[in-house]
Amino acid sequence: MGIEASGRSGIVSDVNVVPLIDILLVLLVIFMIIPHRQVGLAASLPQEPGQAVPIEHPKSLIVQIGPDGRVRLNGSAVERGELQGRLEQVLGGRAQRVVFLQGDRSLEFAVVAEVLNVMHMAGASPVGLVTTELEKNH
């Protein structure tokens, strides 16, 4: 990378690339000799199952309160006094205790709160509220 002097024309400013090529070859040899270790994340790959495990999707429970105050559990009529016992019976064998409550818009809040309290006493947790606006979107 020096400047070479020439006799006739004066100073010639050519770049001497021989030292750069030497350095490049040395680096190439070094990187070829050094083994590259690639270390990744440990992954647990799925194994073939011995038996087919049936997946049981829990049916959603929907408690509906009509405009007249009548209570339905998944479409079947239930007396308010029997609601807690029926919910305890259904929720007893489930791991997920999600129950949805759908009330008519014309109901007073006290009626909805009473049914909501019965659902909590039966062990429903969490309780989702279903509205007519959500039904229109789906």
Confidence of residue 138 (pLDDT cuts 50, 70, 90): low
For residue 26, the tally of other CB atoms under 10 A from its CB is 10
Give the distance from CA 16 to its chain's centroid. Answer: 60
d(CA 6, CA 66): 106
Segment 75-110, tens digit of pLDDT: 889 998 898 998 888 888 778 888 899 988 888 888
d(CA 123, CA 138): 28
pLDDT at res. 91: 85
pLDDT at res. 24: 93
Report if pTM > 0.75. no
Segment 35-73, tens digit of pLDDT: 766 677 778 878 777 766 555 544 788 899 998 889 998
Domains and their CATH numbers in the chain: 4-33 (no CATH), 61-137 (3.30.420.270)
Cross-strand bridge partners of residue 11 = 5
pLDDT at res. 22: 92
For residue 111, the tally of other CB atoms under 10 A from its CB is 15
Give the residue-averaged pLDDT of 18-32.
89
pLDDT at res. 57: 44
| Run of H or E residues at 6 | strand 4-6
